[in-house]
Amino acid sequence: MGATQITEARLKEQILTLSCPDQKGLVFRVSEFLFEHGCKILDSAQYGDEQAGRFFMRLHFAAPDSSSGFESAFERLARPLEMEWSLFDAAAKTRVMVLVSQHGHCLNDLLFRASNKQIPIEISAVVSNHRDFEGLATHHGIEFHHLQVTPENKQEDALRRLYKTTGSDLVVLARYMQILSNDLCRDWSGRAINIHHSFLPSFKGAKPYAQAYSRGVKIIGATSHYVTADLDEGPIIEQDVERVDHTLNVEELTRIGGDIESRVLARAVRWHAEHRILINGQKTIVFR
């Protein structure tokens, strides 16, 4: 094994995520493989879902830069174990297409975090059915696309086209007030994150802050989740909350909620970009 001959300068960091039916020896086999390929594990996390009998793992490791054949070799290990796996260059930035309507706090937050490198993403484009945030996008040097969305034409062909032409890896619905078609949800499965402005499953659907006000809850929240055809039912990635009281009206709940939305969405996008999220049926595993 040439592992000891590898110098630091020639290493590159990679992230491997995998899931497969659970069985004895999985950690051993994967760590053996990495050791034999000269890799040093920097961080690993695993989870066995007993009910589903399924095993999930994320490994962050330093690999020799010259490891050609790594992927095909790993596939030989993975296939008999019925493993689904993905390998990512840890230094590569996820390209994110942001969809927004008329509430810009989440967009502003993502643009700022991307620009000061708090989240390892590049905003590939800002797309909107309104023109409110054209200036903001332009100020950040991001291309802006206005889509004339109507009840008859949701412009989904244009969305698909933009996703491709901008080389995007992820779609973020940062308060985008249009419902995507079932087809598009399916095509973007696992690659589209929405922020819902309530603590799901409370207050699904429209005007959650007005619903929260009417019900008199003492805490409000927000939820980021992968988009699925089943509206507001996609796998939850992250939630957060804030305490409220009887003195706050709907506008004030909305203002407080906006802050929660921004940080909940930012965390979800960061974890996705860092390949920390594995989808487990209707739920997510987040290796934080």
Catalytic annotation present for 232: yes
Provide, rounded to whole angstroms, the least separation between the CB of residue 256 and its own copies: 10
Q: 111 or 162, CB closer to its own copies?
A: 111
Q: 164 or 243, CB closer to its own copies?
A: 243
Instruction: Give Cβ neighbours of residue 189 (< 8 Å, ≥ 6 apart).
Output: 226, 227, 228
Provide, rounded to whole angstroms, the least separation between the CB of residue 216 and its own copies: 3
Tell me whether residue 72 is exposed, middle or buried, using C-beta atoms within 10 angstroms of its C-beta: 0 to 12, 13 to 18, 19 or more: exposed
Query: Which residues contribute to the site for its own copies (CB under 8 A)?
Result: 3, 24-28, 31-32, 34-35, 39-48, 50, 104-105, 108, 112, 116, 118, 135, 139, 199-203, 214-219, 221, 235-241, 243, 245-247, 249, 255, 258-259, 263, 280, 282-286, 288
Provide, rounded to whole angstroms, the least separation between the CB of residue 169 and its own copies: 22
Q: 87 or 279, CB closer to its own copies?
A: 279
Closest CA to 170 of 140, 152, 185, 190: 190
Catalytic residue among 22, 49, 187, 232: 232
Closest CA to 35 of 69, 75, 4, 7: 4
Q: 76 or 288, CB closer to its own copies?
A: 288
Provide, rounded to whole angstroms, the least separation between the CB of residue 31 and its own copies: 4
Phi, psi of 201 (to 5 degrees): -85, 15
Provide, rounded to whole angstroms, the least separation between the CB of residue 164 and its own copies: 30
What single-letter amino acid sits at 40? K
Q: 7 or 116, CB closer to its own copies?
A: 116
Enzyme catalytic residues? 232
